[in-house]
Structure formats: C-alpha cells, structure tokens
Amino acid sequence: MSDIARALWYTAPQTIEIREEKLSKPSGNRVYLKTHASAISRGTEAIVFRGDVPVSERERMIAPFQEGTFPFPVKYGYANVSEVIETKDDLKAGQRVFSLFPHQSNFLLSADALYLIPSDLPSTRATLAANMETALNIMWDAAILPCSNVAVVGAGTVGSLVGYLCARIAGAHVTMIDVNPKRQDIADEFSCTFSLPEVAPENQDVVVHCSASESGLNTAIRIAGREARIVEASWYGSRPSGLVLGGSFHSQRLSLISSQVGQVAPIMRPRWTHRRRMEAAISLLKDEVLDTLLAPPIEFEKAPKDLKDVLSGKKDTLCQPIVYS
C-alpha cells in the first residue's frame, strides 16, 4: 500500500488545489481504501468553494471526515466510492464501499463508516448515494401519499431524485419545475411532467423546494393548494431569502416544513438509524435511468482546474463525478 495520499482542498475563495499527506498503517478496524470515484455535491460544495458558510453554521456544516476549518483551508466532500485494499475486519479485499469521505486518492477509515456497494451498481452512479439519502429523507418529511399532486421546484441533483422517487408512488402526478428548460429531458426520463416557473400548475397537495433561491421558494408558496405542505429542502448559506408571506399564504393555511439530512425525519426516527437509511438509499440506485444525472467524469488530477466552472455555475452540470487512476 502507498503511504502517500493526494486530496482535494478548498484553500481560498474559488481556489482549489491538490495536497499530499502521509498515511499511517491500518490498525484495529481501520481499512485501507483506494478511491474509484467521488462526486461533487454541487449545492453545498459551491457554498464552501465561495467561502460562504455562515459563521453561525460552521459547526453544523462540518462534514463527517472533513479536515481544516471554515472558511479555508478545508478538505471537504462526502460522496466517495472506493475499493478495499487491506483490512483486518470482516470486509474482503476487492469489495467496493461507499463512504462520506472527501475527494482523496487513498485513505484509511473505520469499517463502521463503510457501506457495501452491490456488485452490479457502477461506481459513478454509486456516488449518488448521499444525494439519494437526502432525497429519501425529504420524502419522509414531505409525507407524500398515493394519488397526490406533487411539485418539485428546482431540478438539480437532489430535486431530480425527489421527483424520481415521487413518480414511483402509486397514482402520484409529479411536476418538476426549473428555470432551465433543458431539465425537461430529465423530467421525461423520470416519468414526471416539466414546467417553467411562470406557468407552473397551481393547487398542489405537496410542494418540495430544492432550488436554494428566493424566487423558487416564492413559486412554491404560490402554487401550493389550500392547507398544502411546502417542504424547504434547500440550504442558502449566508444568502438572505425574502419570503412573500402576504397574499394567500395565511388564508390558504399553508405549512412550511424544514428538511435537513443531518437527522432522520421524525416520522421514521423511532425505528430508523442513519446506517439503515444510507443502506436503503444505496438500494434505490439500481435503476440505470439515474445515469441521466451524471455529467461526463473528470480526472482527479485535473479537478482543481475543471471544477471551477462546475462550482461557479458556468457549466450546466448536475452531479459531477471525479474518477481516479
């Protein structure tokens, strides 16, 4: 095993570099892993990339295996698919696992933090596991029932996965709403209707907001039906959000619910652990139609340059995989 690892670091506003670090020997239940693929969580990592993590949220924003402190420098990320190389645990060499580890070529991690990946699940698609876990938790918070009219505002990676899951509920009619008309292709693949915000259908039973924009949240409020639930699944970082709470918000008796993946949704918490939720999320990735969300992979060694366009919004990318040689 190599005792030198290479990792992606955010070192200053809109600045990314690769740094080397020395690894220790595997001991106890720590497993030596070689990364096959990782993925950029575009919404959250764009906030880190800009240095926009609010002071009040810096402790809560710490990723499970982050190094460094906000705003910079930080080794940040949480979608890693790797191969077991050396272990003293029950895991076998050659098995692939998912972990909430940053973008790094090789690393050591406790076996307790690893989730087995089925042999028929491609590594790049498996990087969607953390986003699918978020989407699953949103579904639980939204409590979407059969035959509901559901709107998802914001067809990024998480919003699209919410639309995908909603469309598989019996009798549900799902509309994915986005300012980008190119998202129509994703909606079609996921058996959803697509709409631009200005013509979005109203009187929705449940609206899930995933656009992390003021206009998107106000669209969600506008199209919600009487006594409907609006689930706010976005995270804005330090940006303000102006809500339009006049008009029909009170007369319609709308409910605004916050959803965040850090805790299992209350309705499921008595029986579900974080591990069970992640294992369920991985099991939901078998459908090859989900490859629609994946951009062409970029090479790890080129990531400091290539990721800038992705994280600055110049490149129309949903989930950006990184592959390792």
Domain boundaries, the chain: 4-128+294-323, 132-258
Q: CA nearest 321: which of 302, 10, 75, 313?
A: 302
169 and 148 in contact (C-beta within 8 Å)? Answer: yes
pLDDT in tens, 4-42: 999 999 999 999 999 999 999 888 899 999 999 999 988
Residue 304 has pLDDT above 90, yes or no: yes
Residue 248 has pLDDT above 90, yes or no: no
User: How would you class 82 by CB atoms within 10 Å of its CB: exposed for 0-12, middle for 13-18, buried for 19 or more?
Assistant: buried
Architecture of domain 132-258: 3-Layer(aba) Sandwich (3.40)
Looking at residue 51, what is its pLDDT? Answer: 96
Locus of tokens 């810096």: 58
Looking at residue 238, what is its pLDDT? Answer: 67
* Both tokens assigned to 79: 């979608």
The CATH class given to the 4-128+294-323 domain equals alpha beta
110 and 166 in contact (C-beta within 8 Å)? Answer: no
Give 194's strand partners: 176
Tell me the C-alpha distance between 35 and 104, whole Å.
7
Residue 134 has pLDDT above 70, yes or no: yes
pLDDT in tens, 68-127: 999 999 999 999 999 999 987 789 999 999 999 999 999 999 999 999 999 999 999 999
The vertex-284 CA angle with 296 and 281, nearest 5°, equals 95
Band of pLDDT at residue 284, cut at 50, 70 and 90 = very high
pLDDT in tens, 186-200: 999 999 999 999 999
226 and 252 in contact (C-beta within 8 Å)? Answer: yes
Residue 167 has pLDDT above 70, yes or no: yes
Tell me the C-alpha distance between 73 and 10, whole Å.
6
The alpha carbon dihedral of 3, 114, 290, 150 has a sign of: negative
Beta-strand runs (E) in the chain: 4-12, 15-22, 30-40, 67-68, 74-75, 80-86, 96-99, 106-110, 115-116, 149-153, 173-177, 193-195, 204-209, 224-232, 255-258, 298-299, 320-323
Q: CA nearest 81: which of 45, 121, 112?
A: 121
Beta-strand runs (E) in 87-203: 96-99, 106-110, 115-116, 149-153, 173-177, 193-195
In the chain, the percentage of residues whose pLDDT exceeds 70 is: 99
Burial 302-322 (b: 16+ CB within 10 A, else e): ebeebbeebbeeeeebbbbbb
Which residues have a Cβ under 8 Å from the Cβ of 277 and sit 6 or more positions away? 133, 136, 137, 264, 268
Q: CA nearest 258: which of 217, 197, 201?
A: 217
Looking at residue 142, what is its pLDDT? Answer: 98
Of 250 and 107, which is predicted with more confidence?
107
